[in-house]
Chains A and B, each alone.
Chain A
Amino acid sequence: MADPVVFAEGLHKSFGDTHALRGLDLSVPRGTVCGVLGPNGAGKTTAVRILATLSDPDAGHARIAGYDVVREAGQVRARIGLAGQYAAVDEKLTGRGNLRMFGRLSHLSRREAHRRADELLERFGLMDAADRQVTGYSGGMRRRLDLITSLILRPEVLFLDEPTTGLDPRSRGEIWDSVRELVADGTTVLLTTQYLDEADQLADDIAVVDHGQVIATGTPDELKATIGDRLDVILEDPAALRPAATVLKALAGTDPTMTGADRLGVALPGGGFRLADIVRELDRAGVAAADVRLRRPTLDEVFLRLTDRKELV
């Protein structure tokens, strides 16, 4: 595999007595979306700030496209885009005015800056609002403007720090669509989020961060597989609870839990179970099931298991 385009090793950062990062490692292959998932205060934003050259690590090092974020910050800045939790645009200017200004500040020629502004407004559906002051934009429109402002220089790596926090579902969907388009163009995206469905929707790989460290990595499917599938059985006759429990225990290796008067549930370790086999086993024990459901766990369940901080989700 080619060198990762985002690479961090042993990042440490403290603010007074608070250890925001305690040895964070991260590696993102080119052209993929990496979802950095974690509760509030896990260190996600601190990590992004270091990778985007806004803050220096106390220890450890990081490279973007091979350039060190501390020693070669100028090279890094020419290759990244950053869109944050708040819309970092000038509210007094129009959408077009913002894009032109940031284009000029990115050292595009006047003509090129104007052309690029129109191109981005057109492509991301903001042309109708182009000449309105940003003050009058909706939350979703501002966020989209913030996002496309970070695309002016066609960055190799785009950092999205909680890009949809506080947005309504429709605006979230629009941001997601925009991100998918970028990925199709080959942009590498590092996305922090506390929404698990967002990571599930967008990320190729997920890094779960807690207490300033990466505590698990993998594709969404791999992470789900670590806690196994979930089996739920609803019985036709509650009297069959005992034999049903015996069957489930034999399959799972652990005692099932009663989730209702006529239903049982159990986590199946590893995966690889087939619904047909389970039904056959129940049948053989003479248990009549009204419903048998085998489902992947949600990322929420994975996240809860990994971070063990229920109150935060």
Chain B
Amino acid sequence: MTDLAPPLGHRLRWTFTDGLTLVGRELGRLRHDPGELVAALIFPAVMVVLFGYVFGSAIQVPDGGDYREYLMPGLFAMVTFSAVMAAMTRMATDASRGVMDRFRSMPMARLAVPFGHTGADLLIGLLMLAIMVGAGLLVGWQPHHGLIPTAQAFLLMIVLRYALSWVGVYVGLAVKNDQAADAMVPLFLPFTMLSNAFVPTDGMPGWLRLLADWNPVSALTAASRELFGNPGGLAGNVAWPLAHPVTTVLLWSAALLVIFVPLSLRAYMSRGR
């Protein structure tokens, strides 16, 4: 574009300001409709009860620890992965309702829309994590290794969540249709459960175990267990991603960002339709 482009600093400032306005928009939506957050939390809450007290009574934790201590890092990871669905749904809704067209026809900073959406998701993610931590403490979960490792674990969740929200932005832009996006939400469940979040992977058949071991959900769960000092420690032959879970989470995050940020920006900027 040979647009009479304003200076870069000016554009960056507007990208930031417009991004903040869009973050404010999400908070406004949340204020008017807190039900959305409640709905998003009901699922992990049900999981706490269902796995923590129903199935959990029959599940043997590898090093003999408490199952609910074992479970909570998995649920934190699950909540972290809900970023994909949340960002996808928001983006697809805007695209199908014409809100995206209005943004595009306005003299606002173009990049502000995807950055605003992912930034808003980060705040919502923090809120959800805080509520989950409360639920965890309530059922007897706690971190054992002190402040720094605990903070590191949550930082990992936040980094991965941010990367995952870009996946959601891209998928939402690609489907452009809120009903199609809603139809994809159930995929979330098998994807997150095919991991070490609820049970150790060594009992799974070989091919399934391979998938579960390399699932980023597993890496995040393993990293959190390690940093929190929760049971589920590694024994015997462990797959590489689970032996180096922190590195794996960081590599996954970097890879997702490198792939999906440019893809999303291109999809948002393209005007071919």
Contact = CB atoms under 8 A, between A and B. Distances in A.
Contacts of A105: 18, 21-22, 103, 106, 108, 112
Interface in B1-17: 1-5, 14, 17
Nearest to A93: B28
B4 A74 contact: yes
A246 interface: no
B102 interface: yes
A84 interface: yes
Interface stretch (A75-83, A257-265, A279-287, A305-313): A75-83
Contact of A53 (B98, B102, B105): B105
B97 A56 contact: no
B182 interface: no
A93 B32 contact: yes
A56 B29 CA distance: 33
B64 interface: no
Interface in A186-225: none
Given A54-B273, A92-B29, A101 B101 contact: no
B205 interface: no
Given A84-B98, A92-B33, A105-B108, A74 B271 contact: no
B107 interface: yes
A101 B108 contact: no
B7 to A, nearest CB: 13
A217 to B, nearest CB: 25
Contacts of B33: 92, 133
A20 B168 CA distance: 31
Q: Could you tell me the dominant secondary structure of chain B's interface residues? A: helix
Given A82-B102, A86-B98, A107 B29 contact: no
A104 B116 CA distance: 14
A240 interface: no
Contact of A52 (B105, B272, B273): B105
A107 B98 contact: no
Given A53-B271, A77-B106, A94-B32, A89 B99 contact: yes
A138 to B, nearest CB: 17
Interface string B246-273: 0000000000000000000000000111
Interface string A128-139: 000001000000
B251 to A, nearest CB: 36
A49 B105 CA distance: 9
B104 A54 contact: yes
B127 to A, nearest CB: 16
Given A74-B107, A78-B107, A101-B24, A88 B101 contact: yes
B115 to A, nearest CB: 13
B25 interface: yes
Contacts of A71: 1-3
A102 interface: yes
A91 B97 CA distance: 10
A102 B103 CA distance: 9
Contacts of B28: 92-93, 97, 101
Interface string A94-120: 100100011011110000000000000
A87 interface: yes
Given A55-B271, A73-B1, A74-B3, A106 B108 contact: yes
Interface string A33-68: 000000000000000010011111000000000000
A181 interface: no
A107 B3 contact: no
B18 A90 contact: no
A55 B273 contact: yes
B31 to A, nearest CB: 9
Contacts of A133: 32-33
A241 to B, nearest CB: 57
A14 to B, nearest CB: 11
A122 interface: no
A101 B32 CA distance: 15
A53 B273 CA distance: 11
Given A89-B102, A92-B28, A92-B32, 18 more contacts: A49-B273, A54-B273, A55-B272, A74-B107, A85-B98, A86-B97, A88-B98, A88-B99, A91-B97, A92-B29, A93-B29, A93-B32, A101-B21, A101-B24, A102-B106, A104-B21, A105-B21, A105-B108
Q: 8 shortest A-B CB distances, which residue pairs?
A: A88-B98, A92-B29, A78-B107, A88-B102, A77-B107, A105-B108, A104-B21, A82-B105
5 contacts: A82-B105, A88-B97, A101-B25, A105-B21, A153-B107
Interface of B: 1-5, 14, 17-18, 21-22, 24-25, 28-29, 32-33, 97-99, 101-108, 112, 271-273
